[in-house]
Each structure stands twice: as C-alpha cells, then as structure tokens.
C-alpha cells in the first residue's frame, strides 16, 4: 500500500526541479519510475518534463479525458513500477486525482504543482488532492520583497490581471510568485491604471483645466502668489494617479520640466516606466511651477502621454 503526496508551491519555487531530483534519487536506487504530466502543459518540449534550471527527463503525457489508473496498469504490465511522479498536477481533473488515489493501492504517487490559480482560487485538481492526499507539504519560495511567496500573479504587459479563463499556460514571461501583500498592492495598481485610462477622453475635453487665482492682501502685506484652481476632472485624475506615481521621477526622466521642454518631447519610443515617471515629474514640479499641468492638459500633451501608456499596455504599434 502506497501513499498519495501533494507537494505544492508558488510559481518559481522549483517544483519541477524537485520532481526531477526525486525521480533521479529513485532511479539511482534501481527503482522504476513513471513520470507523468498533463498534455495541456505546452510550455516546453512534448513528452518531456523540463525545469527552468536546466533539468529535464522524458515523460508520458495524458489528456484530461484519460484514465490514469488504466495508464498505470498498462505501464506496470510492461515493467513493474515502484513509484509514480506527476508534474503540474493542478491540471488534473477531480476524477484523475481519484484515479491517482486508486494507484496507491500498489505504489506511492508523488504530485507536484500549484495550489491556486492567478485569481487566488484552488485548481480543481489541487482541491481534490488537499481533500484526499496522505501528505501535504509546501515547497517554499520568496517574493521579490523577501516575504514568502504564496500567490501566483499573472501579468499582461506589466499590469496584473485576474481576468480570463482559469487555465492560461505560461512561464516567467507571464507569471510571478508573490506574497499576498504585494499581490494585493499590484491589484490596486491595476485598478488605478484603469482609472487613469478612463480620464483620457475627459481630460482631452478640458479646454480650460482650471482657473488662476491670487492670494489676497493679509494685513499690510500684499501676497502675490498666483496658483491654479483645477476643475474636478483634473483633481480626480491627480488623486487617482497618486497610487501609481513614481516618488523620485528625476532618477528616470532627466529633463527640465517646463512647457517649452516638454511640448516637443517625443514619447513614441518610451517605455511604460518612463511615461509614468514623466507624469510624476509634472505633478511634482507643479508645486514650484504653478500652471504646468494646466498647460499640458490644454495643449493635449498630457492626453497624448496617456494614450502612449495605453498603447504600451495594449501592445499596439505607434
């Protein structure tokens, strides 16, 4: 009688590498290993389990309609097996997990995979494994901030996404293991980004973004400090952008922030970070140069910058 093991971890926790090292250890002892993975995992070579650190091994792939108990029996009849290892087990169906459970009547089954999808919800296969496995253990990894990674974040052009179908195959180019606080912060960032985009049309319509005002005399001293009272749309944009702005934009954008220098600036080849830093610089300089934001809005310069940001994220050509 064997046991059913579920070894889970976030993206980048070396789950596949652990599975391959486990396979090597059994084979080194002269044992016969059946290595499996779902056909839906098309990131690397077919009929091969591949780890991003360079390890790989031949395997048998299976469709979501395949009976894994029958597959095991067929392989076991050809050559007596000692252990079954399943990579990317989260893609198994509920029924396939129950079939793996049945295999443990003869040998142990080690399953490696994710616990949750990019929405933070349990995969069907992972849920059933948690319910019926004999052993549940975590393969730990760290977030970029240093905390333990527990979430599997999906990014589309630099913006976190929780939209779409449950299974969306990808690797480092799309997914990142994160701690929950960073995951929630990126989600908030995405919400603010969407808010900023909603301002494009309204800001473009601001032919007069605000009115100039001057402080009145105080006692015998005349205070003459003109400033702009911005309308509600502009105030709303600034408020939404505060969650998104770069605190030290001058480290990215090396330019004297004036209308004369910003107006002819070509942004068609600038990246996402540069564009955010550019707007951040304007908001920062507005305190010392009142009316800078007003001028950029009324000449459609800010609108063009926001459109550039949208093109970058939407992956559109200029």
pLDDT at 316: 44
Q: Is 285 designated active site?
A: no
pLDDT tens for residues 153-205? 988 777 887 776 667 666 656 788 999 999 988 888 788 777 888 888 788 77
**Cβ contacts of 280 within 8 Å, gap of 6 or more:** 241, 245, 246, 247, 249
Q: Which of 88, 124, 186, 286 is an active site residue? A: 88
Which pTM value belongs to this model?
0.68
Share of the chain above pLDDT 70, in %: 92
Give the closest residue to 53 by CA, choosing from 111, 10, 94, 13.
Answer: 13
Domains observed in the chain = 4-139 (3.40.50.300), 192-314 (no CATH)
CA 295 to chain centre: 36
pLDDT of the residue at 171: 63
């Amino acid at each position: 009688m064997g046991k059913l093991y579920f070894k889970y971890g976030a993206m980048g926790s070396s789950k596949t590498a652990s599975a391959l090292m486990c396979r090597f250890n059994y084979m080194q002892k002269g044992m016969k290993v059946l290595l499996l993975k779902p056909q839906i995992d098309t990131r690397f070579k077919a009929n091969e389990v591949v780890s991003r650190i360079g390890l790989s091994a031949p395997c048998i792939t299976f469709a979501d309609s395949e009976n894994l108990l029958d597959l095991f029996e067929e392989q076991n009849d050809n050559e007596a097996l000692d252990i079954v290892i399943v990579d990317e087990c989260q893609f198994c169906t509920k029924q396939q997990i129950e079939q793996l459970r049945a295999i443990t009547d003869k040998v142990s089954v080690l399953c490696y995979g994710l616990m949750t999808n990019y929405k933070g919800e349990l995969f069907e296969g992972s849920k059933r494994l948690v319910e019926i496995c004999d052993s549940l253990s975590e393969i730990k990894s760290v977030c970029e901030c240093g905390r333990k990674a527990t979430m599997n974040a999906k990014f589309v052009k630099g913006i976190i996404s929780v939209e779409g179908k449950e299974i969306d195959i990808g690797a480092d180019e799309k997914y990142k293991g994160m701690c929950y606080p960073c995951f929630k912060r990126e989600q908030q960032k995405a919400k603010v980004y969407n808010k900023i985009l909603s301002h494009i049309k309204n800001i473009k319509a601001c032919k007069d973004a605000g009115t100039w005002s001057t402080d009145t005399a105080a006692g015998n001293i005349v205070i003459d400090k003109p400033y702009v009272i911005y309308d509600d749309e502009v105030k709303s944009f600034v408020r939404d952008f505060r969650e998104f702005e770069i605190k030290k934009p001058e480290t990215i954008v090396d330019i004297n922030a004036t209308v004369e220098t910003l107006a002819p600036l070509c942004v068609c080849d600038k990246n996402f970070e540069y564009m955010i830093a550019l707007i951040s610089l304007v908001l920062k300089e507005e305190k010392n140069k009142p009316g800078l934001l007003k001028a950029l809005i009324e000449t459609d310069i800010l609108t063009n910058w926001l459109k550039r940001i949208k093109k970058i994220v939407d992956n559109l050509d200029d």
